[in-house]
Structure 1
Amino acid sequence: MDRLWTDFVNSDYHDWRGGDRSEDRLGRTEWQQEFLKQWQLKAPIPASPEEERTLRSFRGKLHALATRLSAGNPLLDEDQEWLNSMMEEGKVTRRLHSGDEGLRLSHIPVGTQWQQVMAEVAGDFAITVVEGDGGRIRICDNTDCRWIFYDDTRSRTQKYCDDKMCGNLMKVRRFRAKRKVNQKQK
């Protein structure tokens, strides 16, 4: 399941098939438009060069924090302070909605700047850590991919960001390596 924060962090694309193609999608206008639309956020497009630098720095810190949590390390006091400072930049309006499933409370972002977007991303990450489990944050076992995801499987054993793409690719690689070893032994 995609989450706001994983979608943001994974904007630094690496070719999961092992090619040397990589792309920082954060600076692409098309990516910015699609990201904001998908997550119902607003900010001026394209982001200014200064905003892009700030977004990249934020993404780098969030990636490093997710990586530490995926290794089983706890959330430190300074991590909490940093997340709090990022979330303070975003103001929200709370709205109660009724629907088929009963009442629901939503937080609607008030700001329309990239700082608000970063606050929403930080807030979504904080929700993941508080309501979920930081130990379920994973980095895809395909070393070419580097995708970060949240393992929401019951068994907590998900290794790949996508079983059909990275999972199959790694299965084929293991099979071919094993077959190669077996052929050499004959």
Structure 2
Amino acid sequence: MSELWIDYANSLWHDWRGDGHAIDKLPQPEWQSAFLQKHRLTAPVPAPATELEEMARFRDLLREFAQRLYEGGSVTEPMMGAVNEQLQRSAVVRRAALHGEDVRLEWQPQENSWNAVLAEAAADFVKSLASGLGSRIRLCDNDNCKWVFLDDTRNRSKRYCEDKTCGNLMKVRRFRERKKAGDAE
């Protein structure tokens, strides 16, 4: 399950293996194009340098909100104020469209800008909260990863963004620590 706001929040990539290396993908035109294409959005690529600071600021806010919710906090008025501020930066029209026999609600920005993209990310975050997914927002338990994800398990016990990467890495590390502690005795 990939949400627009989560993909946006995860544009700050950390090396999950633990070397401390991080890459900010927001300024990369390749990431911008792939993100826009994946979510069927439009904005100028590369993003204007004047907008990159706001883009990073909003990403950091989304990550902060995710951290708060992951730690058991609740949604606050200041959080909603920050989201509403982003929503107000761009005018949007929604329209009903027929695709075959499917009816869809489509988003039509009134401008081709990153402000419109950030407004849609803010709207997607609110949709997640409104649909009851706030308690499923997680940060990967691998301290080196810091990836934001939604826990889609029935019992809400998912600890790692990916079992095959972070989950496996942490399992091996725990095994080696136990083995090392056993050898020391």
Q: TM-score, normalised by structure 2?
A: 0.93
CA contact (8 A) 1:71 1:135 kept: no
Q: What is the CA–CA distance in structure 2 between the aligned matches of 1:23 and 1:131, rounded to whole Å? A: 31
Aligned-residue sequence identity (percent) comes to 42
Tell me what 1:86 maps to: 86
1:169 pairs with 2:169: yes
1:159 pairs with 2:163: no
Deviation for aligned residue 1:153: 1.5
Q: What is the CA–CA distance in structure 2 between the aligned matches of 1:163 and 1:131, rounded to whole Å? A: 26
- SS of the residue aligned with 1:95? strand
Gaps of 5+ in 1: none
1:104 pairs with 2:104: yes
Deviation for aligned residue 1:178: 0.9
Residue type of the alignment partner of 2:54: T
Q: What is the CA–CA distance in structure 1 between the aligned matches of 2:104 and 2:30, rounded to whole Å? A: 32
1:1-186 counterparts in 2 under 5 A? 1-98=1-98, 102-185=102-185
Residue type of the alignment partner of 1:118: L
Q: TM-score, normalised by structure 1?
A: 0.92
Q: What is the CA–CA distance in structure 2 between the aligned matches of 1:70 and 1:101, rounded to whole Å? A: 39
Deviation for aligned residue 1:101: 7.1
Deviation for aligned residue 1:79: 1.3
Q: What is the CA–CA distance in structure 1 between the aligned matches of 2:143 and 2:54, rounded to whole Å? A: 27
Deviation for aligned residue 1:96: 2.5
Deviation for aligned residue 1:132: 2.6
Q: What is the CA–CA distance in structure 1 between the aligned matches of 2:55 and 2:31, rounded to whole Å? A: 13
Gaps of 5+ in 2: none
Q: Tell me the C-alpha RMSD between the 2 structures.
A: 1.6
Q: What is the CA–CA distance in structure 1 between the aligned matches of 2:18 and 2:63, rounded to whole Å? A: 21
Deviation for aligned residue 1:173: 0.8
- SS of the residue aligned with 2:149? strand
Deviation for aligned residue 1:22: 1.2
CA contact (8 A) 1:33 1:45 kept: yes
What are the superposed Cα offsets for residues 13-63 of structure 1, whole Å, 9 maximum, x if unpaired?
110011232111111111111111111111111112221111011111121
What are the superposed Cα offsets for residues 125-183 of structure 1, whole Å, 9 maximum, x if unpaired?
11111113312111100011011111122111110011111111111111111111111
CA contact (8 A) 1:17 1:144 kept: yes
Deviation for aligned residue 1:107: 2.7
Aligned residues: 185
Deviation for aligned residue 1:80: 1.2
Q: What is the CA–CA distance in structure 2 between the aligned matches of 1:82 and 1:101, rounded to whole Å? A: 38
Q: What is the CA–CA distance in structure 2 between the aligned matches of 1:98 and 1:50, rounded to whole Å? A: 38
